[in-house]
Structure formats: structure tokens, C-alpha cells
């Protein structure tokens, strides 16, 4: 479970203090499929960075799985992310020198340090789930956008994270591929009860999620649960 209590984020732009997030109070339960929406510059990505433990709030408290992450140092935050959080990026951010298999393997080796057999089992299962088993030896530059995002999803999920943050995951994909990716994430959410939090403009995601949080100028203006 994620809770935000009176979270503010201020960026210093020279002598001007730019308040990007204003008194954010939010709570997200396990297994939720949530979209944070809002116009450009509304603070969607900042919220994602804050609750994704990539950035620290100027003040306020963020608790994830009972841990006040605002109190953690850089190394502890990195370890916390490695154990609990997965990220899916708009431009996939795969490591170009590693193959599909190795990209997915990276967090298991460098972060979780799992034994080889366990790693192999998990990777093969995920490659099957994202339908990339036959592409496992290819390198990122040999894949299409949709294939790369599938690999990025597999990489985000391979550590069995409790939460996956996806910042505009379909922005660089065509409609069909976007729909496939959304379906894939939805299936994974259902299968593993993984929390998915999206920052997006994409209507296709908005129509697929269970909850839509609208952000305008750093303030939550609407928090709507959709009953399917």
C-alpha cells in the first residue's frame, strides 16, 4: 500500500521557487490499476517520481509497504526500488549492449543477485508471457517499438515488484501495439496482483484502468474509481 501525506515538491528555478506538487494526499491499494492524468506540466511525472522513490518530496511523508521512504538515503532507496518497484519508460530505456534475455536478467544479477537457475526460470516464464521467447537473443536495436516495450515490461516484472510505475508507456507505440501492451499489463496485474500506476495522456490506458486520478497544477482535482 502507498500513502502520501501532505506531500509538496518545490523546484528552485534560480531565485524562484516553483511549487510543482501541492499538498498531495493519496493512497493506493495493492493490485490497483491506476492512471494519473492531467495536462502537460500538471505534475504527473513528478508524482510518479516521488512515489517511485526516484525523487524526494520537499516536505510530507510517503509510505510504501509501511516504510517511510522519505527517510531513506540514496543507497537504501536504490535497494528499496530494486526489491519493490519496477519501471516502464516511454522510450523503453533498454540497455543497448545487452540482448533481450540479458536485459531482463540485469536486475536479477546486478540488483537481486539471484542464482542462475532461478533467474533462468523467471526470465523464460516472462519471455513466454510477453510473447518474446523467440526473440530472446536479439539486441534492442533489432526489435520493433512494441517488442522493446514488451521486453521493458518483462524487465520491470522480473524482480516480482509489488508496484510498477509506467510513464507514458504507449506514447511511442501505434494503436494496435498499444492495445496489446495494455492488455498484457492488465493480465499481469490480474495474475500477480501487481499494482500498476501510469502517468499518461493516452485515452486507451485511461479507459482500461480501475481508477483515474486527475492532476491540475500539482493538485489532485479528481479521484475517480471505475466499476467495470
Partner 1 sequence: MKNILKMSFRNLLRSGRRTILTASLITIGVMFVLIYAALSGSFKSYMISQVTDSMLGHIQIHKKGYIASVDNLPLDKNLNEKQIDKIKEFLDNSKLIESYTFRLKLSAMFSNYVASTGIRLNGIDPKNETTTLPLFASRVDAKDKTILKEGNILVPELIAKGMKVKKGDTIVLVATNQKGSVNGLNFKVSGSIEPISGPGGRDGYIHINDVKKLLRLKKVEVSEVVIRLKNVKNLEKMMIYLKPLTQMKNKKGKPVFEIHTWKKLTPFYNIVKMLDIMDISIKIILISIVLISVLNVMIMSVYERIKEIGTIAAMGTTPSTITKLFLTEGLMLGVFGTILGSILSYVFVFIINSVGITFSFGRQSDLTLNPILQINEVLIVGVIVIIISLVASISPARKAAKLNPVDALRQN
107 binds partner 1 (CB under 8 A): yes
* Residue 147 · residue 130 · CB < 8 Å: no
139 binds partner 1 (CB under 8 A): no
Q: Mask of contacts with partner 1, 108-127, x by CB under 8 A?
A: -xxx----------------
**Residue number with CB closer to partner 1 (69 or 208):** 69
- In the complex, minimum distance from the CB of residue 117 to partner 1, in angstroms, rounded to a whole number: 16
User: Which residue stretch of 106-114, 120-128, 192-200, 214-222 sits at the interface with partner 1 (rule: CB under 8 A)?
Assistant: 106-114
User: Which residue stretch of 29-37, 78-86, 181-189, 198-206 sits at the interface with partner 1 (rule: CB under 8 A)?
Assistant: 78-86
Binding residues among 15-54 for partner 1 as defined by CB under 8 A: 49, 52, 54
DSSP-assigned states of every residue in 119-176: HHHHHHHHHHHTT-GGGTTS-GGGS-HHHHHHHHHHHHHTT--SEEEEESTTTTS-HH
Nearest 5°: CA angle at 213, between 208 and 217? 135
96 binds partner 1 (CB under 8 A): yes
78 binds partner 1 (CB under 8 A): yes
- In the complex, minimum distance from the CB of residue 221 to partner 1, in angstroms, rounded to a whole number: 24
Residue 131 φ/ψ region, left for φ over 0, alpha for ψ in the -120 to 50 degree band, beta for the rest: left
- As a whole number of Å, the CA-based R_g of the chain is 17
Residues 31, 211: Cα–Cα separation, whole Å: 11
Sole binder of partner 1 in the list 31, 82, 145, 146 (CB under 8 A) = 82
Question: Which residues, 6 or more positions from 224, have their beta carbon under 8 angstroms from its beta carbon?
Answer: 211, 212, 213, 214
Residues 193, 219: Cα–Cα separation, whole Å: 28
For partner 1, the binding residues (CB under 8 A) are 49, 52, 54-55, 74-75, 78-83, 85-87, 89, 93, 95-98, 106-107, 109-111, 155, 159
Amino acid at each position: 500500500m502507498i500513502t502520501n501525506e501532505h506531500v509538496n515538491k518545490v523546484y528552485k528555478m534560480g531565485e524562484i521557487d516553483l511549487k510543482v506538487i501541492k499538498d498531495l494526499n493519496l493512497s493506493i491499494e495493492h493490485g490497483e490499476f491506476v492512471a494519473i492524468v492531467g495536462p502537460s506540466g500538471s505534475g504527473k511525472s513528478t508524482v510518479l517520481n516521488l512515489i517511485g522513490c526516484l525523487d524526494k518530496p520537499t516536505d510530507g511523508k510517503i509510505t510504501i509497504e509501511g516504510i517511510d521512504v522519505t527517510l531513506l538515503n540514496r543507497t537504501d532507496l536504490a535497494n528499496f526500488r530494486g526489491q519493490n518497484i519496477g519501471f516502464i519508460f516511454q522510450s523503453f530505456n533498454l540497455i543497448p549492449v545487452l540482448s533481450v534475455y540479458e536485459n531482463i536478467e540485469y536486475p536479477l544479477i546486478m540488483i537481486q543477485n539471484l542464482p542462475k537457475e532461478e533467474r533462468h526460470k523467471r526470465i523464460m516464464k516472462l519471455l513466454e508471457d510477453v510473447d518474446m521467447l523467440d526473440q530472446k537473443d536479439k539486441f534492442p536495436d533489432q526489435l520493433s517499438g512494441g517488442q522493446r516495450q514488451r521486453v521493458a515490461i518483462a524487465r520491470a516484472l522480473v524482480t516480482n515488484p509489488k508496484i510498477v510505475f509506467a510513464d507514458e508507456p504507449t506514447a511511442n507505440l501505434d494503436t494496435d501495439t498499444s492495445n496489446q501492451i495494455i492488455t498484457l499489463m492488465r493480465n499481469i496485474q490480474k495474475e500477480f496482483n501487481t499494482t500498476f500506476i501510469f502517468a499518461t495522456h493516452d485515452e486507451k490506458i485511461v479507459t482500461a484502468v480501475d481508477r483515474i486520478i486527475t492532476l491540475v497544477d500539482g493538485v489532485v482535482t479528481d479521484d475517480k474509481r471505475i466499476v467495470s
